[in-house]
Chains A and B, each alone.
Chain A
Amino acid sequence: MTGGRAVVSIALVWSVALTAGCARYTQRIDLAGPQPSLAPFAIAFERNPSVVTLEALHRHMRLGGVDRASLDAIVGAIANKDIEPRIVAAAAVDLATYAWGDSFATLRLDNLHAQRARSLRTVARTADLAWSMLALRAAYLIQPVDLSGMDLRDRSQFVGQSMNLRSVNFSGSRLSPAVWHDCNLTWASFVRARAGGALTCDRCFWEPGGQPQRKTFVRGRWLS
């Protein structure tokens, strides 16, 4: 083989390899983009919420790979199925960590739909998930959370304990009678909220830098 032919052959092989490589890379970039359909890990979790599917979910959420449709599916699965509590707890941690705002929006819609459909178990599950996520809310966060109109009745012990409920909108929501402790209720809205019994908040804050106080919730207002 002459030198010229050798150069042409090498160039040819290089070009083919380069083209194939670029095509493959472009394909990978396309795949990494936003998907309009449900992500496979979300479908798997929705069909069978188990430790295995939760692990896949966790991996993908940690990498930021969750779109709104998948999120709806995940929250929907928790709202509509009887799932092992430890799986719900772990999913709540992931939702609160990686998709705080969208998760609450989905949760609220599911809760409102369930109220209209009189699906009490779905209402209870969404309420519990909402409180679990609120328990995880860091004390320094101030962005509003819209829980208006939700049925948030949940008799679990952890509800209202050392929670940052600052700027949470409870307007028109239903709450369980309880004694909350050490909560930050600064700028939380309770317009037309209802508690089916005595709701008290002890050592709670209602204004920035204020003193901790004990107040009772009476007809939409916190009274000393």
Chain B
Amino acid sequence: MDAGSRNRVESALDRCGWWPIALVLAFDAALLPWLAHPYDVTAFLTHADRVFFAHVRPAILWPYGGVALAAVLLSQLPVAAFPQLWAAVPLRLALLKLPMLVADAGTALIIRRYAGPGGGTLWALRYLLDPAVFFVTVAHGQSDALAGVFAVAGIALTLSGRFEWAAVALGIGTGAKLYPAAFVPLLLVVAYRNGSPKRALASAAYFAVMAACTVVPVVAGRTAAFAGAFANNSFGAESHRVDSASPWALLNAIAPFLRPALEDLAVVIVPVALALAELRHRPQRVDIARAAMVSAVALVMLDPGAHPPFYLWIAGPLVLYCAVARDGVVSAIGALLSATAVAMQFCQEGSEEYLLLNFGTGVVPGALRCVVPNAGLLVAAAVLALALVVAAYRPLLLPVGSRSAARVAALVAAAGISAYLGIAFAVAIVMAAFLNGSKALGFEGEMRLLNTFAIDPAVRRIGDGCELTYDAADIIVYAGNDYAAPYATAALGYTLYSPETIVVRDRSVDPERLAERFENIDVRTVAQRDVRVTREFDVSGPLRPFRFVERIEERPCSLIAGTPVLLYRFDIAGAARDAARQPFWERFRQARNSTELRRVKGSVP
């Protein structure tokens, strides 16, 4: 391909206007109702359902910021109005993913705008066709794209010297996921060097205000839970866990002396160090975009808790850098890194789960099987990330020309991988629709699973028995309101039951006289331990109204560690069914006037 024809590719794409972008978005939109990560997506949907049908306060049990919460709730409003749509899985998935698709389109447009004269459409397409972008938004259904658009907007506004607006964008992005905050040190340094100390201070203030506005409403009143989770992840039982998508897993195998706290620190230090390095000069657009991209790479690659979808965080800053620097080599390496992340996800969890919610189990997308061991993919990811950084800094070391062949090749590579993913999933969807359509759908099972909370007891010996304390403060809060409580049940779950007597709220109860059921679920994860439950006894009656902390005496003591577990279940399907009997406005009018409703006195102190 000669230079002229290569330029013609870029100009031809520019001449096509919005059509190529619209076509890719249409392709995404056609696939997204049929695919979803069962756990992640059901967690979002069930959260919206609890708010709509059980009138649970929106922030309760929500682990992200206010922007992501607003996106979930607003996207599911049609289901709030018409609860009959509760099990219309494709519609719900499409609604849930719509904000993310819009966010991706927004990111693509920002990149197009900042790509400079000519070639904008190529870079917009490069972003939209990035394998990680396609996979996370279309197949997985996580909300990373939402944070991504604000992160890219923040970086882009920094490039153009609009520091205060950049701070606002990053502040809002922090309300979606926390990672856009990692670009703030760079913003402050650039505002200081290219603007003034006053503008740097103003940017810091704008960011603080916006981040507070989007995060505080969610965190307020739950600081203990957030602090507990942070302490557990950083210093507690979870601190030693390295996710299998993080290259730390490789390093820990050969250097076990590395401490998780050090790993966490690396995630903070690298973006700060990159930002401080820009103090040496008045940073140009390319310098800023490169520092932001390398920060994003460090953020993902050095995070010991990185999941494959996190690799989307790299895509936006990477393509923005490539568009600004017109760097096809980094773009190509980035496409391969994203593809590696997608392959990692398939190797860790399998590709068939993406069809579970719509089509049940059974169909495995044959073209998306795991073909390389996860360790091999981790090595590939680490090498690619390193190559990416080296390639990004190579113009500083030796003069290299801007080759449009590399830019087009990178686009072709990204498009080829995403098209392969799309076609493989499309074939699997068609097969599942024809071969597997009659089977029980996975949606309701997944909803049940997510609305079951298992708590293991703190055991204290008393005389000839044991006092079992179940602290469920942070998970049964939904059971404290008038709407939700009737849909909540409680059961004692045993690994193997042997006859015993329990005393619940001063009442002696023989469990065998209670309604029982036998679980067909292998294990429940309780406090990061797997507990097998084979038999349950319904203790909803004795435990109503539910309390944050429940104390039960058992005689004699169980000799099986961690049992009996206390299982709280919330019948979300039942709540939706009952909600469907009343019009939307009447339900919420009643919620405001709670005295008309049956009070569950003392439900939760």
Contact = CB atoms under 8 A, between A and B. Distances in A.
A162 B559 contact: no
Interface stretch (B205-213, B302-310, B370-378, B517-525): B517-525
B499 interface: yes
A195 B393 CA distance: 76
Contacts of B498: 84-86, 88-89
Contact of B362 (A51, A162, A181, A209): A209
A136 B534 contact: yes
B558 A86 contact: yes
Given A89-B560, A181-B518, A158 B499 contact: no
B496 interface: yes
A162 B558 contact: no
Contacts of B544: none
B104 to A, nearest CB: 36
Nearest to B559: A90
A142 to B, nearest CB: 14
A191 interface: no
Given A85-B499, A93-B496, A162-B534, A138 B522 contact: yes
B535 A158 contact: yes
A158 B559 contact: no
A158 B558 contact: no
Contacts of B362: 209
Given A138-B522, A158-B534, A161-B518, A51 B496 contact: no
B510 interface: no
Contacts of B520: 139, 162, 182
B239 interface: no
A136 B495 contact: yes
Interface size bracket, A side: 20 to 34
Nearest to A85: B498
A92 interface: yes
Contact of B559 (A87, A132, A182): A87
Secondary structure at the B interface, as helix, strand, loop or mixed, is loop
A89 B522 contact: no
Contacts of B496: 89-90, 92-93, 132, 135-136
Contacts of A139: 520-522
A93 B497 contact: no
Nearest to A87: B559
Contact of B556 (A86, A93, A209): A86
Contacts of B532: 136, 138
Contacts of A132: 496
B243 interface: no
B518 A89 contact: no
B578 interface: no
A88 B496 CA distance: 10
A54 B516 CA distance: 28
A87 B361 CA distance: 39
B500 interface: yes
Contacts of A158: 497, 518, 534-535
A4 B560 CA distance: 64
Nearest to B500: A86
B497 A89 contact: yes
Contacts of A209: 361-362
A94 B124 CA distance: 58
A88 B558 CA distance: 11
Interface string B485-522: 00000000001111110000000000000001011111
Nearest to A93: B560
Contact of A51 (B499, B521, B559): B559
Interface string A64-103: 0000000000000000000011111110110000000000
A88 B560 CA distance: 10
A85 B362 CA distance: 40
Interface string B400-437: 00000000000000000000000000000000000000
A162 B495 CA distance: 13
A46 B362 CA distance: 47
Contacts of A84: 498, 556
Interface of A: 51, 54, 84-90, 92-93, 132, 135-136, 138-140, 157-158, 161-162, 181-182, 209, 211
Would you list the 3 A-B pairs with minimal beta carbon distance, nearest first? A90-B559, A161-B518, A85-B498
7 contacts: A84-B556, A86-B556, A87-B559, A88-B498, A135-B534, A136-B496, A138-B522
Given A139-B522, A161-B534, 12 more contacts: A86-B557, A89-B559, A90-B558, A90-B560, A132-B496, A135-B534, A135-B535, A138-B523, A157-B516, A158-B534, A209-B361, A211-B439
